[in-house]
Structure 1
Amino acid sequence: MWHKPLMVCVLAGPALSCFAHAQERAAETRPSGIVPRASPEQFELAFWNSVKDSVHPADYEAYLKAYPKGRFAALAQARISRLRAPAPAAAAAPPPAQAAPARPAAPPPTAAPVITKGGAEIRDCPYCPVLVSLPPASYTMGNNASDPSEKPAHPVAITTPFAIGKYEVTVQQWNACVSGGGCPKVAQPANTGPAAPMRDLSWDDAQQYVKWLAAATGKPYRLPSEAEWEYAARGGTDTPYWWGAQMATGKANCKECGPPWSSDAPANVGSFAANPWGLHDTSGSVWEWVSDCWHNNFKDAPANGRTWEEPNCTVRVIRGGSWREGAPYMVVSTRFKYDASVRQLQNGFRVARSLR
């Protein structure tokens, strides 16, 4: 029996090009003044900062849908007009002796997905994490053949649909919250890219992020309960690993799990295979905070998937292992604990939200 040791981010045409350029420049250089923290104005500013350099008209349309009379509405309209303007016709050239078939034009950007049940992807705003919706179902939580903290294996009924992050929260997504005044700035190691999982976060930090995201979108964002997390991580399977009974390379970001792996830092989110429900990095990458208070085992655990709380709880559950652990930690039932107020460089999180 092995035991887990303690481990603790308009152009409408050429004739109007000069006007449009001046309009954009004026809007971007205009002093913005002091915006109250955690205010509607700050949320709008964070939204605009997340899309202002986009080359996709749909991002500006999403801003206008959320803020039809916003402070950047005119600029958003100008950007849409410029991006949708037809390209100037090129001068005709003599055809070659045998011309190659013309490459079809790229399809236009698609609109935001409609929220549906049964595994559809959901994205509530440009700076929001992508979610995957999951249906209600029953499963067996825990593992009688693993660490004592994972016992007893017990039935859990998830009675309402919910959605959970397709990936862990990234550095770029965290920094949108920082820009919006909802999260503290947490330094990341040098050369950390925007698609890396945000880490060195406490449970308290994660709570700040989901509260900010809920206020910014009007959607009930939160951390997943431990039971919801394991249900999602299993992806409908009942084996020790979501991919089967034995360890396999290329499935998880850990030191014995195959490339791409580095001892220095976790890979960007989505670098490894997704589980059957399309969720990435539930094994390895970074430990993920969930909402529950820590209990030494599952005796008397709730059977309905809700958060297992205790009064004045200061120690919370982390799940899934990290890139620094070995293969035994990739078992889907792996769980451990950490002080809720303490930051640790291997700890991050993914979000959840209710669908009813």
Structure 2
Amino acid sequence: MCGCQIPHEKVFKHPLRREGEQHGVTVQSFCFGRYPVTQAQWKAVASFPQINRELNPNPSHFQGANRPVECVSWDDAEEFCLRLLHHTKKQYRLPSEAEWEYACRAGTKTAFHFGETLKTDLANYNGKYGGEGDYRQETTEVGSMKFANRFGLYDMHGNVWEWCQDHWHDSYEGAPTDGSAWINTSHNPKGRILRGGSWYTGLANCRSMRRLYANSGQEHNTYGFRVACSSSWIL
């Protein structure tokens, strides 16, 4: 799977609820999908042997082999990663929330990796609510905006919300400082985190720091994901 190796960062300032509230996180080098997982990739991996649960090979509302897969839950995305891991013997997984934000920002400190605002020729979001541009009312093919961040990653703002490993917590107080996922089944066992905004959301929800909460079994035509890999292999 096509991807980029994200460099090691000694200390990354991970925001709390606003860009001004931050805490330091050490993020180790990892590989990350250049694009969200496409429907063609999903269909291929859905044909691999089942690990924990069945996968619908064609779950998406907006059809297109090179569009991002959507209408997938966190549980579905986790099963996808497990099947890919067992098939390739490489450590594929969902990213931690800290990894996702570090990859999205790519060294920037602004609201978006493009700068302080967006236009819909840079990202697929609802231009009626902030920024400048149109409302496409559907997903677009991955990478079709043709603008990557400094790490070579596309569609980090808009198109589909992306699942992260972490359980939901109301703040980052007590969160890991090593960039790993914050797993706490006793706190909120089904609540998981999505990042990045979507084709449906307005400008504010596409900001690098914006977080969304959803049940791990919830599906929606704005929910997708991309995969990370802990090894030095390129995805």
Q: Could you tell me the TM-score, scaled by structure 2's length?
A: 0.88
Contact 1:152 1:299 in 2 (8 A): no
**1:355 Cα deviation after fit:** 1.8
Contact 1:261 1:267 in 2 (8 A): no
DSSP-derived class of the 2:41 partner = helix
Tell me the distance in 2 between the aligned counterparts of 1:261 and 1:180. Answer: 36
Q: Deviations over 1:136-184 (max 9, x none)?
A: 10211115546xxxx84111111x3110100000000010022223451
Tell me the distance in 2 between the aligned counterparts of 1:227 and 1:179. Answer: 31
Q: Deviations over 1:19-77 (max 9, x none)?
A: xxxxxxxxxxxxxxxxxxxxxxxxxxxxxxxxxxxxxxxxxxxxxxxxxxxxxxxxxxx
Is residue 2:64 matched to residue 1:188? no
For residues 135-150 of structure 1, what are the structure 2 equivalents within 5 Å? Answer: 135-137=7-9, 138-143=11-16, 145=18
Identity %: 34
Contact 1:260 1:271 in 2 (8 A): no
Query: Which stretch has the larger CA shift, 311-320 or 221-230?
Result: 311-320
Is residue 2:108 matched to residue 1:237? yes
Unaligned runs of 5+ in 2: none
One-letter amino acid of the structure 1 residue matched with residue 71 of structure 2: D
Q: Could you tell me the TM-score, scaled by structure 1's length?
A: 0.59
DSSP-derived class of the 2:163 partner = strand
For residues 238-317 of structure 1, what are the structure 2 equivalents within 5 Å? Answer: 238-256=109-127, 262-263=136-137, 265-272=138-145, 273-312=147-186, 313-317=189-193
For residues 9-158 of structure 1, what are the structure 2 equivalents within 5 Å? Answer: 129-137=1-9, 138-143=11-16, 145=18, 152-158=21-27
**1:297 Cα deviation after fit:** 1.1
Is residue 2:225 matched to residue 1:349? yes
**Structure 1 residues 246, 343: closer, same or farther in 2, change over 3 A?**
closer
* Corresponding residue of 1:319: 195
Q: Deviations over 1:103-146 (max 9, x none)?
A: xxxxxxxxxxxxxxxxxxxxxxxxxx211001110211115546
Q: Deviations over 1:216-273 (max 9, x none)?
A: 111000000000000000011111111112334422110116678521x210110121
Contact 1:169 1:351 in 2 (8 A): yes
Is residue 2:72 matched to residue 1:201? yes
One-letter amino acid of the structure 2 residue matched with residue 270 of structure 1: G
Tell me the distance in 1 between the aligned counterparts of 2:217 and 2:115. Answer: 35
Contact 2:119 2:133 in 1 (8 A): no
Contact 1:252 1:330 in 2 (8 A): no
Tell me the distance in 2 between the aligned counterparts of 1:337 and 1:248. Answer: 25
One-letter amino acid of the structure 2 residue matched with residue 155 of structure 1: G
Tell me the distance in 1 between the aligned counterparts of 2:227 and 2:176. Answer: 21
* Corresponding residue of 1:226: 97
Structure with higher helix content: 1
Is residue 2:204 matched to residue 1:333? no
DSSP-derived class of the 1:316 partner = strand
State the structure with more CA Rg. 1
* Corresponding residue of 1:9: none
Give 1:172's match in structure 2, choosing from 24, 37, 40: 40
Tell me the distance in 2 between the aligned counterparts of 1:187 and 1:248. Answer: 29
Tell me the distance in 1 between the aligned counterparts of 2:89 and 2:30. Answer: 16
Contact 2:36 2:224 in 1 (8 A): yes
Provide the alpha-carbon RMSD of the alignment.
1.9
Tell me the distance in 1 between the aligned counterparts of 2:75 and 2:223. Answer: 12
Contact 2:18 2:209 in 1 (8 A): no
Tell me the distance in 2 between the aligned counterparts of 1:161 and 1:130. Answer: 17
One-letter amino acid of the structure 2 residue matched with residue 298 of structure 1: Y
Structure with higher strand content: 2
Query: Which stretch has the larger CA shift, 166-175 or 249-258?
Result: 249-258
Tell me the distance in 2 between the aligned counterparts of 1:345 and 1:144. Answer: 26
**Structure 1 residues 314, 326: closer, same or farther in 2, change over 3 A?**
same
